[in-house]
């Protein structure tokens, strides 16, 4: 009997590591749809740009799997689960028995129905995984004008890679700003400026109505606004949704993703879920949500692993956080950004220096920080997470949160002395919360 993990991303690797802190014996089996060992999907844009080599994209060295008795089944897809008999069915007909199962299958690209017919053309690709990277890499020498559909996290990073390879880039984005889920309008202005500086054509509040195809290649894109663009390639960067097709027929509760409790357990015993596929408790929203955040995937995988191996661990909840840069402009944002949608009673605190391209914004509700945006101002910003996680009173710390140099000196003496001398470090389990609040 083994631990079985469906999925081969950060959640899977983290789960392996935490399982092995408790159980060094029982085998772990990873079922990987892709035929590559665990690698960082976000790295594909850096590979295109020439910043990272393919062999450096893997999360762990080969020894990691050998040393830890992990068997990786590459290029196998899970097609179904039989919870009663504790079996995972694979696409090649094989059946894998599990003692504890972790579903960490991540997300698949979301293709709006209107584009589905174009997806098999030669010069169009999504931009999520390795094979997308290789497809684009092959195309790269022959193309010049590239249209990116979607100006979110993936779209912007793809644009950066193409600009570094001297391609002409067009971006079509539905919302009125790029990175719409992780930045506000004021902050996005700096990204728009940087995009413009690099000769990128940005079409906001716009999208592709249709494509003109010739000989199985997309030649033109017709935008909603009426513009017609001559293009050599298209990147679909609209977004991902949880990959849960294979759990049909089980009574694993889902909403958008797989619902899990504090120990990352699903509604079915011995089955856990972690990462982009899981719908777990979100610290800031105070309810269960999906959240495609790399850090959270690792955290959840780790928590799931502990529980699977028999060591109780209780997840404190996900904190949304994103770090992204486009050439010289960088962004770090936390928590709830889209204040116009969710809450009415938000106090907003801003600090802006347009001459230095610096922008800071804090969203505060009931004297507690619930979200923050930092453009071109990232020095030690991780300390901010304490305010959101531990729900520290905002008014006491308002000045340091807006200042360029955040540090421990503004905290209470006892708190900071305990923290800077922490023996175990910051924990993701609920016990950490009890000690600090």
Distance separating alpha carbons of residues 137 and 411, to the nearest angstrom: 49
* CB-nearer residue toward other proteins: 78 or 337: 337
Pairing of the two strands 329-335 and 368-375: antiparallel
* CB-nearer residue toward other proteins: 149 or 283: 283
Nearest Cα neighbor of 290 from 246, 259, 261 is: 259
Nearest Cα neighbor of 435 from 420, 421, 415, 417 is: 415
Q: Which residues, other chains included, contact 362 with Cβ-Cβ below 8 Å and sequence gap of 6+? A: 348, 349, 350, 369, 371, 372, 394, 401, 402
Instruction: Report the nearest approach of other proteins to the CB of residue 312 (Å).
Output: 15
CA-based angle 99:100:104, to the nearest 5?
140
Instruction: Report the nearest approach of other proteins to the CB of residue 267 (Å).
Output: 26
Burial class (CB in 10 A: 0-12, 13-18, 19+), 4: buried
Tokens of 180: 């719409």
Distance separating alpha carbons of residues 265 and 101, to the nearest angstrom: 10
Residues, the chain, total? Answer: 437
* CB-nearer residue toward other proteins: 10 or 291: 10
* CB-nearer residue toward other proteins: 58 or 201: 58
339, 346 Cβ separation under 8 angstroms: yes
* CB-nearer residue toward other proteins: 79 or 427: 427
252, 80 Cβ separation under 8 angstroms: no
* CB-nearer residue toward other proteins: 75 or 407: 407
* CB-nearer residue toward other proteins: 161 or 244: 161
Instruction: Report the nearest approach of other proteins to the CB of residue 116 (Å).
Output: 29
Instruction: Report the nearest approach of other proteins to the CB of residue 224 (Å).
Output: 32
Q: Which residues, other chains included, contact 244 with Cβ-Cβ below 8 Å and sequence gap of 6+? A: 103, 105, 254, 257, 258, 277
Residues that bind other proteins (CB under 8 A): 10, 14, 40-43, 46, 51-52, 56-60, 294-295, 298-299, 302, 321-325, 330, 332, 334, 378-383, 385-386, 389, 406-410, 413, 416-417, 419-428
Pairing of the two strands 358-365 and 368-375: antiparallel
Instruction: Report the nearest approach of other proteins to the CB of residue 431 (Å).
Output: 12
Tokens of 163: 């600009």
* CB-nearer residue toward other proteins: 102 or 321: 321
130, 333 Cβ separation under 8 angstroms: no
Q: For the sheet with 78-82, list strands across it.
A: 78-82, 87-90, 95-97
* CB-nearer residue toward other proteins: 41 or 288: 41
Instruction: Report the nearest approach of other proteins to the CB of residue 401 (Å).
Output: 13
Instruction: Report the nearest approach of other proteins to the CB of residue 407 (Å).
Output: 4
Instruction: Report the nearest approach of other proteins to the CB of residue 85 (Å).
Output: 34
Q: What are the beta bridge partners of residue 148?
A: 171, 235
Instruction: Report the nearest approach of other proteins to the CB of residue 295 (Å).
Output: 4
Element (H, E) at 323: strand 321-326
């Amino acid at each position: 009997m083994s631990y079985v993990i469906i999925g081969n991303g950060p959640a899977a690797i983290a789960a392996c590591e935490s399982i092995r802190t408790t159980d060094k014996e029982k085998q772990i089996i990873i079922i990987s749809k892709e035929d590559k060992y665990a690698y960082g999907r976000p790295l594909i844009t850096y590979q295109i740009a020439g910043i990272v080599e393919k062999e450096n994209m893997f999360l762990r060295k080969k020894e990691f799997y050998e040393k830890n008795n992990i068997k990786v089944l590459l290029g196998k897809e899970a097609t179904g689960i039989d919870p009663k008999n504790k079996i995972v069915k694979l696409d090649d007909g094989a059946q894998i028995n599990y003692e504890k199962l972790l579903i960490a299958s991540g997300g698949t690209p979301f293709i709006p129905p209107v584009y589905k017919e174009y997806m098999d053309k030669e010069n169009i690709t999504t931009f999520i995984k390795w094979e997308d990277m290789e497809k684009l890499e092959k195309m790269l020498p022959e193309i010049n004008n590239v249209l990116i559909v979607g100006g979110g996290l993936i779209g912007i990073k793809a644009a950066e890679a193409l600009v570094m390879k001297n391609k002409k880039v067009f971006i079509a984005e539905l919302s009125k700003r790029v990175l719409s889920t992780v930045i506000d309008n004021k902050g996005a202005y700096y990204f728009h400026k940087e995009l413009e500086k690099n000769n990128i054509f940005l079409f906001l509040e716009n999208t592709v109505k249709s494509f003109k195809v010739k000989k199985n290649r997309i030649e033109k894109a017709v935008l909603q606004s009426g513009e017609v663009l001559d293009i050599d390639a298209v990147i679909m960067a609209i977004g991902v949704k949880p990959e849960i097709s294979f759990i049909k027929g089980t009574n694993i509760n889902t909403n958008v993703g797989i619902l899990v409790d504090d120990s990352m357990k699903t509604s079915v015993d011995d089955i856990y879920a972690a990462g982009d596929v899981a719908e777990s408790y979100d610290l800031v929203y105070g309810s269960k949500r999906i959240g495609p955040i790399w850090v959270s995937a690792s955290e959840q995988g780790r928590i799931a692993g502990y529980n699977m191996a028999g060591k109780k661990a209780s997840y404190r909840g996900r904190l949304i956080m994103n770090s992204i840069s486009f050439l010289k402009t960088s962004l770090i944002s936390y928590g709830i950004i889209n204040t116009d949608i969710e809450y009415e009673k938000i106090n907003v605190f801003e600090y802006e220096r347009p001459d230095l391209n610096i922008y800071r914004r804090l969203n505060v509700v009931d004297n507690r920080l619930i979200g923050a945006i930092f453009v071109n101002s990232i020095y030690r910003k991780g300390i901010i997470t304490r305010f959101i996680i531990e729900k520290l009173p905002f008014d006491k710390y308002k000045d340091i949160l807006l200042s360029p140099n955040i540090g421990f000196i503004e905290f209470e003496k006892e708190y900071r002395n305990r923290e800077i001398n922490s023996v175990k470090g910051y924990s993701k389990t609920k016990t950490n919360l009890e000690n600090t609040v």
